[in-house]
C-alpha cells in the first residue's frame, strides 16, 4: 500500500510539473499577444490601465483570502502586466516621435 501511495504521489508531482510548464508557456503567449496589441493600437493603453485597476480592486479581496502566497503571486503578476503596458506605451511614444521627425525632415 505504501508503495502505491508513493507511486501516486510521484505521478501527481509529474502532472503538477507539466501543468506549471504549460501555465508558463501560456503566460508568455498571452504577454506577447497583449504587448503586440498595445503596440499596434496605443489608443487602448489608457482604457487598459483602467480595466486592470478595476479588476485589481474587485479581485484583491478574494486573493487575500486565498493566502499570502496567492497575494504575492497576484501582486507580481499585476506588476508584470503594468510593466508590459508601460513598455507598449513607451514604444508607441517613440514611434510617434520617429514619425514626427521623419515628416519634419522629409
Q: Is 12 left (phi over 0), alpha (psi -120 to 50) or beta?
A: alpha
Q: State residue 90 phi and psi, 5-degree precision.
A: -65, -45
3-class secondary structure, 106 = coil
Q: What is the pLDDT of residue 96?
A: 64
What is residue 104's predicted lDDT score, i.e. its pLDDT? 58
pLDDT digits (tens, 9 = 90+) for 33-56: 777 777 777 787 788 788 778 877
How large a percentage of the chain has pLDDT more than 90? Answer: 0
Cβ neighbours of 32 (radius 10 Å):
11
pTM score, whole prediction: 0.53
Written as nine digits, the cell of 48 is 487598459
Q: Sign of the C-alpha dihedral, residues 56, 58, 60, 63?
A: negative
**What is the DSSP code string of 19-86?**
HHHHHHHHHHHHHHHHHHHHHH-GGGHHHHHHHHHHHHHHHHHHHHHH-HHHHHHHHHHHHHHHHHHH
Amino acid at each position: 500500500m505504501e508503495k502505491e501511495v508513493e507511486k501516486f504521489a510521484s505521478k501527481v508531482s509529474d502532472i503538477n510539473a507539466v501543468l506549471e510548464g504549460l501555465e508558463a508557456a501560456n503566460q508568455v503567449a498571452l504577454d506577447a499577444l497583449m504587448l503586440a496589441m498595445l503596440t499596434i493600437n496605443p489608443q487602448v493603453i489608457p482604457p487598459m490601465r483602467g480595466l486592470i485597476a478595476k479588476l485589481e480592486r474587485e479581485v484583491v479581496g478574494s486573493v487575500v483570502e486565498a493566502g499570502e502566497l496567492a497575494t504575492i503571486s497576484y501582486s507580481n503578476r499585476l506588476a508584470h502586466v503594468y510593466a508590459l503596458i508601460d513598455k507598449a506605451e513607451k514604444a508607441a511614444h517613440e514611434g510617434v516621435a520617429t514619425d514626427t521627425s521623419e515628416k519634419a525632415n522629409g
